[in-house]
């Protein structure tokens, strides 16, 4: 991959990968580290990708793995204001809603699967491959995540 192609890939995928990392890490700095590590791996990668979709899937998988690695290395996590951070990363979009805030409060597996499904347009089978799970497992996660999200939103509306 030449420098121009690398720059194109970074510009195209950086925001999406940041959100994937943030679903796991809930920290701007840690998410930036995960993305940086992902792009460093891409830059040094000798692999040739079959298609743009293959490249995108590889980037998501590496970002998730980097996020998990950072989580396992960080013994201490300071409490953060999720609402403030949600508004920060979605500041240019109309997605600064209760939905996004509640989505970020879910278990990282749930929020990542919902994000990939609804925002990135992946099908359950594609998410299963990215996360090394079965399609049935992803469908179950989607179902549970939707239910949990709906319950959270109902609770907030009742208050």
Residues 72, 46 share a domain: yes
Q: What is the pLDDT of residue 62?
A: 96
Q: Is 132 left (phi over 0), alpha (psi -120 to 50) or beta?
A: left
Given a cut of 70, the residues of the chain with pLDDT beneath it are 74-99, 156-159
Residue 78's pLDDT is what? 45
pLDDT at 122 (0 to 100): 87
pTM as predicted:
0.63
Question: What is the CATH number for 26?
Answer: 1.10.1740.10
Nearest CA among 32, 39, 34 for reference residue 10: 39
Position 158 scores a pLDDT of: 67
Are 85 and 54 contained in the same domain? no
In angstroms, the first-to-last Cα distance of the chain is 53
Q: What are 123-146's pLDDT values in tens digits?
A: 899 999 988 899 999 999 999 988
Q: Tell me what pLDDT residue 77 has.
A: 43
Q: What residue numbers bound the domain in which 58 lies?
A: 1-78
What is the CATH number for 90? 1.10.10.10
pLDDT attached to residue 95: 47
Judged on CB neighbours under 10 Å (0-12, 13-18, 19+), 14 is middle
């Amino acid at each position: 991959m030449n420098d121009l192609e690398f720059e194109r890939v970074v510009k195209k995928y950086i925001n999406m990968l940041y959100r994937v990392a943030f679903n796991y890490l809930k920290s701007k700095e840690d998410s930036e580290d995960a993305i940086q590590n992902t792009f460093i791996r891409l830059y040094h990668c000798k692999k040739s990708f079959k298609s743009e979709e293959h490249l995108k899937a590889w980037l998501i998988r590496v970002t998730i793995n980097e996020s998990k690695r950072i989580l396992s290395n960080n013994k201490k996590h300071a409490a953060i204001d999720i609402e403030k951070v949600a508004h920060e990363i979605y500041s240019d979009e109309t997605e600064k809603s209760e939905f996004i805030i509640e989505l970020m409060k879910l278990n990282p597996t749930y929020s990542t699967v919902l994000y990939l499904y609804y925002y990135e347009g992946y099908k359950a089978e594609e998410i299963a491959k990215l996360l090394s799970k079965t399609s049935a497992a992803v469908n179950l996660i989607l179902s549970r995540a939707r239910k949990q999200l709906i319950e959270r939103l109902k609770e907030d509306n009742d208050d």
